[in-house]
Structure 1
Amino acid sequence: MKIQLCEVTNETVRAVCALEVRDDQKGYVAANALSIAQAHFEPTAVFRAIHLGEHPIGFVQWRSAETPGTATLWRFMIDRAHQGARHGRAALDLALQHMKSSGFETVETSVVLGPSSPLEFYLAQGFVELGRTTPGGEWLLSRPL
């Protein structure tokens, strides 16, 4: 089956909001319901369900950063039942392609550091550490598109 980024619709919103990361990852990414709500108050936000075939298995959200030409990967998650199958890598590649085709040249993201941090995942996808944190204390990463 193929990974796709799909709009969250009235038919899929409950399934997307029900997706969860593993228990040990819960302090590292916000719930999808909160992300969707926040997106409605951020004019540049783009959010998509990550589908495997017809079924939502994850969520991704990005927005324009303050730096021109830069996107912020705001949220990214794969449901606990679908982790470890390289779906996250495929979905991130699709999201990065969307950002690039929208005119962005660089993408930034931030991670909470800790035992279940997604830091290693992002480093393996070509992100580099910027050596500083956000005002909220999250570790900053960046990569060209």
Structure 2
Amino acid sequence: MDRSNVKVLILKPITKHNWEEAIQLKVKEEQKNFVVSNLYSIAEVQFLDQFTASGIYAGEQIVGFAMYGIDPDDNNYWIYRLMIDDLHQGKGYGTAAVLLVVEEIKRKNTNGIPTIMIGYNQDNEGARAVYMKAGFTETEIAPWGEQLAAYNLKAEVH
């Protein structure tokens, strides 16, 4: 596949200047049960001290949304939300976005946290494929019913 026309993805913080475009992003109809709205996530992140909400951009175009940070329950990094807009799915942005968030977490991880966790609906085969391709390993089913997967940050320490 020719990737010469694929734009590099970047993360930009959600601010007063881009929150409205972030809440316009939507997943496909059949994916709506898999993720809460970006509006909910933007509200929720206001009360999570160590979390960041970011727009995922291809050039100047917002194509997705991510929310990630340190969960106070287990002191691991967690990717609470990651979505690619339905109009931009199928372009390879999903795996690239996960890897971009992983790189951002590595950059911020000055205190040696060993693991990034993510949870997703057990029926969400698309998410499973993206996370496995990005280097996550499924662990267990969470008490709330989601499949959990871990990315080992220590495996990359040289």
1:41 aligns with 2:50: no
Q: How does 1:54-93 map to 2 (within 5 A)?
A: 54-65=60-71, 66-68=73-75, 70-93=76-99
Q: Is the 8 A contact 1:111 1:139 kept in 2?
A: yes
Q: Is the 8 A contact 1:25 1:116 kept in 2?
A: no
Q: After superposing the two structures, state which structure 1 stretch, 112-121 or 6-15, moved more.
A: 112-121
1:23 aligns with 2:32: no
- In structure 1, the partner of 2:143 is 135
Q: Is the 8 A contact 1:28 1:117 kept in 2?
A: no
- CA deviations 1:5-53 (Å, max 9, x no partner) are 0011222111100100111111111110000100011111111000111
What SS does the corresponding residue of 2:145 show, helix, strand or coil?
coil
**Gap runs ≥5 in structure 2:** 1-6, 154-158
Q: TM-score, normalised by structure 2?
A: 0.84
In 1, Cα distance between equivalents of 2:126 and 2:89: 14
Q: Is the 8 A contact 1:62 1:72 kept in 2?
A: yes
Q: Relative contact order (C-alpha < 8 Å, sep 6+): which is higher? A: 1
In 2, Cα distance between equivalents of 1:105 and 1:55: 33
CA RMSD of superposed structures (Å): 1.5
1:125 aligns with 2:125: no
Higher helix share: 2
**Gap runs ≥5 in structure 1:** none
In 1, Cα distance between equivalents of 2:95 and 2:149: 16
Q: Is the 8 A contact 1:44 1:64 kept in 2?
A: yes
What SS does the corresponding residue of 2:95 show, helix, strand or coil?
helix
Name the % identity: 27
Q: CA deviation at 1:67?
A: 3.1
Q: Classify 1:100/1:115 alpha carbon distance in 2 versus 1 (closer, same or farther; 3 Å).
A: closer
What SS does the corresponding residue of 1:38 show, helix, strand or coil?
helix
Q: TM-score, normalised by structure 1?
A: 0.91
Q: CA deviation at 1:124?
A: 1.6
Q: Classify 1:138/1:117 alpha carbon distance in 2 versus 1 (closer, same or farther; 3 Å).
A: farther
